């Protein structure tokens, strides 16, 4: 491989035993991390550590790192009690990147570095897509997996057999999430991924079986080219799975293994208990946890997660357009396998301060670097003048110590003879002493690394839609503050504020200008400073009642509904009549924690109104119990439901198709649980769709009326007008999120909701009270056609229904008229009871319909004088707020009462 590797090995071989220890620049305080034959050795059969002093005749061995001590006081954390992971013990220091669940975490960067070359299970990063499969200790050895597909000798094997029948190996391997350092990309422009900091990597000693031995035993057939892996973690889009090339899996140099131990212990639940794949040199997303299936194939995996995750799409593809490019997602040229070269500065840490005392001291700058595909980092370089000049840092390779282990040496029950292997599986450490006077004169510190293929980190970021493989120079800003220096990293992980990138963006700097956001001559600021969000008080200071879960649950019906927002209890009884969404919007939340739904969709005015309905605080124990009960997944053996929508429970449906009906409008088709499942939405009511912001994990909720017929089964069609970001204004969060949703992904649904329901033949219900209608006057605009369309279709589909309908459909241009073909077709068959008026504010020269806006003159001409409730007329309105306000004013002026109007 490279000359540097050979030189390092030769120097170690010639050194005296006491000199053979290669330490990272800032090793942990404990001596236990480094092993000498004079202290402890591994017994090959048991994997337990044995004293060499008790083994006469053994020869002296070189040193190599052992794992630091794990914490013994970790426990199941309170926040996990509310989730399906309530059985998993975790370390409270880990930073959660995707809210409470699923568990995606990294350690604080300084803590990770301070542990040294090997990372404890406590601080090892975790990437979970869903709930952690629960495997009892008594079930570990019975865990089974298969090797199938294009093989002549399919294998079905238990973990006990794997350990008993195959040679065990132990290797140090660094695993890195492809999203490491993604927060930097998200600050520049939001990607579809959540915000990893610079600690999305960790190194451990993995013990298991070389996968090549297993695959050879299965006898792959001619033409086989890939090995697919599938785990036991059941997710909305199937079980997690991916693939690598067969040639890579079979190459002993690559070190791919099936691991059942981590740092000498049974795999922790978060790391694949009891069996996982470990693939050195490739992104962590290929190392499938909770392994159940190995499939040898001709083509790459067709698993949803292999296709729609861990890819670097071309930089010009944005989140909105990416969802309509299935061919691009499936293009294997964009799939990530090898890691790219990367590095980060760990010390000085973020916000670390250095006192200036006038002495000639130096400061030891230090950090990590890694490369992919088995390549070695060959240099790390530091610049204090933005790349004009560079300083060569020292680089150390603790991994090389394992190459000195003699033949037959075992650790944790696995052979560690890797002296023959040229590949580098692990991170390395760099450091450089810099005079403090030079730091005082500099504005920043930047590091870049190079690997043995001469691939060097780029100066500038390559932004991509998933935010993967971010590896520009790592820049730490130096602030001069009186008699001290303060250091500022680019970002902080998750939603933690801080970092020079966030600061620069908030002040309007352009982070993409090639100069790290510094304003150039003649350059205008990218944006105005961001104002902090206002706090809205939603509680009554005079209320001090403590409410139990039992009390709350006694008010979970349609009368006197109580609900919880941010731990506070509210009585919605007094607003059942006045809620714009109808009483079901409140009763659907009765007895539940409605925080997420309420806060996601209500205005500041609505939040302030909660004060009037505040009746007490749910006690802490009840808050935990309520969250735990609502987070519990449905039982695996639950029978299929006949009706999809549930009033109080979110239900998932898979996006299966998108159909464009205009330049900015699409029909989104979702597959229900089974082909015979009814949607369960009464005519005139709506449902709520929930998605999650990929970065903040905040819920995005909006109400929609599907255009599926009330009797539709198996599928759900939702017509959505997509409001995109414009230079002068932000677009719609939900509509853009839906548009970005790739086929095969899921959305959450709940319903039905709404105060209006059309029953049949002129009979409807408003807020639960039945009313007979002779004529509907329907006014809509844009995508507001959907509830009107649903009622109109139900009326006209029944030849015996005597109800007539007058429709006013206002739009800007002819192409903005949605469902026009269907509206026109219904008119052709029902001219005696259906009158349709199109009005365009920006008509083309060939337009022959109405021009301008839906105004009083047009309504009076088509509808006549007010008949009111006694006359059997009802007005249904859905559209933009200005349209609704205009309609209310017009009909009120014409003599109609508000009781005659329903605003969807």
> What's the CA gap between 340 and 356, in Å, rounded?
38
Annotated binding residue 177: yes
Task: Say if CB 242 and CB 304 are below 8 A apart.
Answer: no
Catalytic, 228? Answer: no
Backbone angles phi and psi of 485, in degrees to 5 = -110, 140
Instruction: Tell me which of 177, 426, 764, 819 is the catalytic residue.
Output: 177
- Strand pairing partners for 145? 157
Kindly compute the dihedral angle of the four CA atoms of residues 341, 385, 515, 446, in this order, to the nearest 10 degrees.
30
| Cα–Cα separations (whole angstroms), residue 819 to 276, 720, 815 | 51, 12, 10
Secondary structure of 98-163 as H, E, C letters: CCCCCCEEECCHHHHHHCCCCCCCCCCCEECCCCCCCCCHHHHHHCEEEEEECECCCEEEEHHHHH
Range 769-807 burial, b when 16+ CB lie within 10 A, else e:
eebebebbbbbbbbbbbbbbbbbbbbbbeeeebebbbbb
Say how far apart CA 899 and CA 875 lie, in whole Å.
9
Q: How far is CA 633 from CA 14, 234, 410, 599, in A?
A: 60, 11, 43, 23
In whole angstroms, what separates CA 532 from the centre of its chain? 25
Active site residue 725: no
Dist. CA 345–CA 445, nearest whole Å: 9
Buried b (16+ CB within 10 A) or exposed e, 731-757: ebbbbbbbbbbbbbbbbbbbbbbbbbb
Residues 217 and 235: their CA atoms lie apart, in Å, by 31
The first and second tokens of residue 42, run together, are 């591994």
For 142, the token pair is 């019975």
Ramachandran assignment for 204, one of left (phi > 0), alpha (psi -120 to 50 degrees), beta (any other): beta
Structure tokens at 847: 């337009």
- β 226-235/238-245 pair status: antiparallel
Q: Where are the beta strands (DSSP E) in 177-224?
A: 201-210
Q: Where are the beta strands (DSSP E) in 464-606?
A: 474-481, 484-488, 546-547, 562-565, 568-571
**CA pair distance 485, 365, nearest whole angstrom:** 14
Distance CA 813, CA 739 (A): 22
- Active site residue: 80, 122, 233, 309, which one? 309
The values of phi and psi at residue 298, to 5°, are -85, -30
3-state DSSP percent of the chain in helix, strand and coil, to 5:
25, 30, 45
Residue 177 among the catalytic residues: yes
C-alpha to C-alpha distances, 67 to 115, 172, 281, 287, nearest whole angstrom: 9, 10, 21, 21
Written as six digits, the tokens of 82 are: 């509310």
**Beta strand segments in 728-867, E:** 746-753, 756-760, 763-766, 769-772, 775-781, 804-811, 834-840, 850-851
DSSP line for 78-104? GGGGGSTTTT--B-TTSEESSSSSS-E
* Binding-site entries for Mo-molybdopterin: 177
Catalytic residue numbers?
177, 309-310
């Amino acid at each position: 491989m490279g000359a540097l590797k050979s030189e390092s090995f030769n120097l170690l071989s010639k050194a005296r035993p006491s000199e053979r220890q290669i330490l990272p620049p800032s090793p942990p305080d404990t001596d236990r991390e480094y092993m000498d034959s004079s202290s402890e050795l591994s017994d090959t059969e048991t994997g337990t550590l044995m004293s060499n002093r008790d083994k006469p005749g053994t020869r002296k061995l070189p040193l190599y790192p052992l794992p630091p001590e794990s914490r013994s006081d970790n426990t199941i954390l309170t926040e996990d009690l509310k989730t399906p992971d309530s059985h998993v013990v975790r370390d409270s220091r880990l930073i959660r990147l995707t809210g409470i669940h699923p568990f995606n975490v990294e350690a604080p960067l300084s803590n990770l570095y301070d542990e040294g070359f090997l990372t404890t299970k406590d601080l090892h990063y975790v990437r979970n897509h869903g709930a952690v499969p629960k495997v009892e200790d008594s079930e570990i050895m019975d865990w089974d997996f298969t090797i199938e597909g294009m093989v002549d000798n399919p294998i079905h094997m238990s973990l006990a057999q794997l350990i008993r029948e195959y040679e065990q190996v132990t290797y140090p391997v660094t695993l890195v999430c492809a999203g490491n350092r993604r927060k930097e990309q998200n600050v520049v422009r939001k990607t579809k991924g959540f915000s990893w900091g610079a600690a999305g990597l960790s190194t451990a000693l993995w013990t298991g079986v070389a996968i090549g031995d297993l695959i050879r035993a299965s006898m792959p057939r001619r033409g086989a080219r890939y090995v697919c892996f599938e785990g036991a973690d059941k997710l909305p889009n199937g079980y997690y799975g991916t693939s690598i090339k067969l040639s890579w899996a079979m190459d002993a140099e690559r070190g791919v293994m099936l691991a059942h131990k981590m740092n000498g212990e049974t795999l922790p639940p978060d790391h694949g208990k009891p069996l996982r794949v470990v693939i050195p040199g490739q992104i962590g997303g290929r190392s499938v946890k909770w392994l159940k299936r190995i499939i040898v194939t001709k083509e790459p995996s067709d698993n949803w997660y292999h296709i729609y995750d861990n890819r670097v799409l071309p930089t010009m593809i944005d989140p909105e357009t990416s969802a309509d490019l299935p061919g691009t997602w499936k293009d294997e040229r964009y799939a990530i396998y090898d890691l790219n070269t990367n590095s980060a500065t760990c010390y000085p840490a973020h916000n670390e301060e250095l006192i200036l005392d006038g002495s000639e001291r130096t400061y030891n700058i230090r950090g990590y670097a890694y490369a992919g595909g088995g390549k070695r980092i060959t240099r790390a370089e530091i610049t204090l003048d933005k790349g004009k000049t560079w300083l060569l840092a020292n680089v150390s390779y603790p991994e090389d110590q394992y190459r000195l282990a003699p033949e037959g040496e075992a650790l944790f029950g696995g052979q560690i003879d890797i002296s023959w292997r040229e590949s580098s599986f692990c991170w390395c450490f760099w450091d450089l002493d810099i005079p403090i006077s030079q730091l005082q004169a500099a504005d920043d510190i930047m590091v870049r690394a190079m690997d043995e293929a001469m691939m060097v980190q780029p100066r500038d970021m390559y932004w991509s839609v998933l935010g993967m493989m971010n590896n520009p120079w790592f820049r730490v800003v130096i602030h001069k503050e009186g008699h001290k220096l303060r250091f500022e990293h680019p970002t902080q992980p998750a939603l933690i504020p801080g970092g020079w990138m966030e600061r620069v963006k908030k002040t309007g700097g352009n982070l993409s200008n090639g100069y790290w956001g510094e304003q150039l001559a003649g350059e205008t600021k990218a944006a105005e400073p961001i104002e902090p969000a206002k706090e809205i008080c939603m509680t009554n200071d005079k209320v001090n009642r403590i409410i139990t879960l039992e009390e709350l649950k006694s008010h979970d019906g349609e009368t006197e509904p109580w609900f919880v927002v941010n731990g506070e209890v509210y009585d919605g009884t007094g607003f059942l009549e006045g809620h714009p969404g109808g009483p079901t919007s409140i009763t659907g939340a009765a007895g539940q924690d409605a925080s997420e739904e309420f806060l996601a969709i209500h205005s500041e005015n609505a939040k302030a109104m909660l004060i009037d309905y505040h009746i007490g605080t749910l006690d802490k124990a009840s808050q935990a119990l309520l969250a735990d009960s609502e987070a519990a997944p449905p039982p695996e053996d639950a029978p299929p439901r006949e009706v999809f929508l549930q009033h109080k429970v979110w239900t998932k449906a898979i996006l299966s198709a998108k159909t464009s009906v205009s330049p900015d409008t699409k029909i989104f088709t979702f597959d229900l649980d089974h082909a015979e499942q009814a949607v369960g939405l009464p005519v005139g009511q709506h449902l709520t769709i929930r998605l999650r912001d990929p970065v903040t994990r905040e819920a995005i909720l909006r109400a929609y009326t599907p255009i599926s017929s009330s009797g539709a089964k198996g599928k759900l069609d939702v017509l959505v007008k997509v409001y995109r970001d414009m230079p002068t204004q932000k677009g719609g969060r939900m509509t853009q999120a839906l548009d970005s949703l790739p086929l095969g992904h899921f959305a959450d649904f709940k319903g039905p909701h709404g105060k209006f329901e059309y029953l049949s033949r002129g009979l409807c219900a408003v807020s639960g009270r039945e009313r007979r209608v002779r004529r509907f006057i329907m006014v809509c605009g844009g995508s507001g056609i959907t509830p009107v369309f649903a009622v109109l279709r139900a009326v006209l589909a029944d030849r015996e229904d005597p109800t007539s309908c007058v429709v006013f459909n206002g739009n800007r241009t002819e192409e903005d008229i949605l469902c026009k073909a269907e509206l026109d077709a219904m008119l052709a068959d029902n001219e005696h009871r259906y009158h349709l008026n199109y009005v365009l504010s920006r008509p083309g020269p060939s337009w022959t319909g109405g021009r301008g806006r839906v105004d009083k003159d047009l309504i009076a001409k088509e509808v006549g004088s007010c008949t009111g409730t006694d006359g059997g007329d009802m007005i249904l309105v859905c559209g933009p707020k200005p349209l609704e306000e205009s309609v209310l004013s017009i009909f009120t002026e014409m003599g109609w009462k508000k009781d005659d109007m329903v605003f969807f």
